[in-house]
Amino acid sequence: MSMANKKSALLLSVAAVVVSVTSGWIFQSMHEDEPIVSGAGVTARRMLSEFEGNLKGSPGDTPVFEIGSDKAGGTITILGGTHPQEIAGMMAAVLLVENARATQGKLVVVPQSNRSGFTHTDPMEAYLHSYEVDTPGGKRWFRVGMRLANPVHQWPDPDIFIHYPSREGMVGHETRNLNRNHPGKKEGWLVGRVSYALTQLAKTSSLIFDLHEAQPEYPVINKLVSHENAFEVSATAQAMLQSRRIPMGLEKSPKNLHGLSHREFGDHAKALAILAESANPAMGRFRGRTSEELVVGGKDANYVRAAQLGRLFVRFDEQGWPLNVRVARHLAAIEEVINAYNELNPDKPVIIENMPKYRDVVEKGLGPFLKPPPKA
């Protein structure tokens, strides 16, 4: 072997080691738990597997935070992270965990409903692995995951996913989509078991509210999607949001689309079931580079142009859709849904205090409402 070939082989070997070490570090870091801090209002922290033991020890098991009171009332459950790259839903849930208090009834919060989905990203989409938020006590980090559960945890995808129990056929990778699996199955694939456990949780709830985001070119954006059993609550909440100049649409849950939280929790758990969407340009096909400015700042010149061409279902200008605005919208929707629920169910209300307010989150950002990072 010539000296030149030896040098080339050595360089390739060094490069392979660097790639292997870096890949290993990324894989390990993606399985590190985010530091979600229980606020003073949290009365219990348990795992989802307590609602269905078959999930225990699996990569789908996830923390469930209870914000309870000493006074009887209803139970409202908030789901974040059903689709982990839709980060405003998880962040709204985290702000509830770290700030909210209950004086009557109970608030149950699941920040990372599809926990497996937080352990990977799609390299072809060039998503960030994580992002940081400045707080008065230092930086807090949070993960950007993917819409589907990690294929390492559930493989292989079938050619066709047959939803249970409707028998509706879907493209195979939807078997890893939590919001196509409800009401789930007690035995079998991971995501189906996660869904089954969440359905058991929903059965203990008066109302369950699933927080999502979507691309600005998606028709169901900045809307509440409601099961018919919750439509009066949703319509009342929407009217109040509109009166606050927080534009919010309203749609009924389609009866012929299966696996969705707003359909199946209403049908199978008999809980009032609602889903909310906010606008996330980092998810869209018109976007430019998937940078932190896009993921957290919500700014993208391509989307400004798309709005000018009339291709979007929301307004989009140079201000974009920053994460704090999207989180503030979710928090305002939660507030008005709770108010509407209480108005229509005065015999079993849920009274929640110290929720971060819409205007405060828009103006101050997320940092002032997050606890300092835990000390190592």
pLDDT at 247: 95
298 belongs to a structural domain: yes
pLDDT at 24: 46
pLDDT at 4: 61
pLDDT at 25: 40
pLDDT at 1: 59
The answer for residues whose C-beta is within 8 angstroms of residue 307's C-beta and 6 or more apart is: 216, 315, 316, 317
Cα–Cα distance measured from residue 217 to residue 195, given in angstroms and rounded to the nearest whole number: 28
9 belongs to a structural domain: no
21 belongs to a structural domain: no
pLDDT at 362: 98
231 belongs to a structural domain: yes
The total domain count for the chain is: 1
Q: Which residue carries 């203990």 as its tokens?
A: 204
pLDDT at 26: 47
10 belongs to a structural domain: no
pLDDT at 90: 98
H/E run at residue 143 = strand 138-143
pLDDT at 8: 59
Pairing mode of beta strands 44-47, 223-226:
unpaired
pLDDT at 127: 82
55 belongs to a structural domain: yes
pLDDT at 34: 79
Task: Calculate the CA dihedral of residues 143, 146, 147, 151 and round it to 10 degrees.
Answer: -130
Q: Domain with 110 in it: what CATH number?
A: 3.40.630
Cα–Cα distance measured from residue 26 to residue 58, given in angstroms and rounded to the nearest whole number: 21
pLDDT at 5: 60
29 belongs to a structural domain: no
Q: What is the DSSP letter of 269?
A: I
Range of 192's domain? 35-369
Question: Consecutive sets of 10 residues in the chain, 376 residues long: mean pLDDT of each?
Answer: 58 43 45 86 98 96 98 98 97 98 98 97 84 94 96 97 97 98 96 98 98 96 97 98 97 96 98 98 93 93 97 96 98 98 98 98 98 80
pLDDT at 22: 40
25 belongs to a structural domain: no
pLDDT at 126: 80
